[in-house]
Amino acid sequence: MSVLLLGGMDRLERHYLNEASRRGINLKIFTKPTKEIGRKIGKVDAIVIFTDKVSHSIKHEIVSFAKAKGIPCFMYHSCGLCTLRKCLDCLKNIKQKGGVA
């Protein structure tokens, strides 16, 4: 499974990647604002947005992209490691049960 993480803290990037790797998830991270991010996403199974670290315009761009491509999009205000763990576990459980993600 491949997941895009938008937002978060630079200093936690390595930890985000480790948590995803432990769960067998390929994580692509964008912690800094990136122009035309929709073109750089590639193929992902789900998108996670940490809204406290992302501008409204980028959030809207990604949500529109996700809707157009039929990609599930999850938003969390907190950008901590615990939040990511819970989200990745939830995504993994959904996939194991034959869900959307």
Residue 92: pLDDT band (50, 70, 90) is confident
Q: Give just the sign of the alpha carbon dihedral 49, 88, 72, 3.
A: positive
pTM of the model: 0.86
Residue 58 domain-assigned? yes
Residue 13 domain-assigned? yes
pLDDT of residue 97: 76
Candidates 62, 44, 45; CA nearest to 53 is 62
Residue 101 domain-assigned? no
Residue 62 domain-assigned? yes
Residue 7 domain-assigned? yes
CA-CA distance, 80 to 11, in Å (whole number)? 11
Residue 100: pLDDT band (50, 70, 90) is low
Helices (H) and strands (E) in the chain, counts: 4, 4
pLDDT of residue 28: 93
Residue 28 domain-assigned? yes
* Domain span at 73: 2-96
**Tens-place pLDDT, residues 27-69:** 999 888 777 676 778 889 999 999 887 888 888 888 998 999 9
What CATH number does residue 57 fall under?
Answer: 3.40.50.2300
Please give the tally of structural domains in the chain.
1
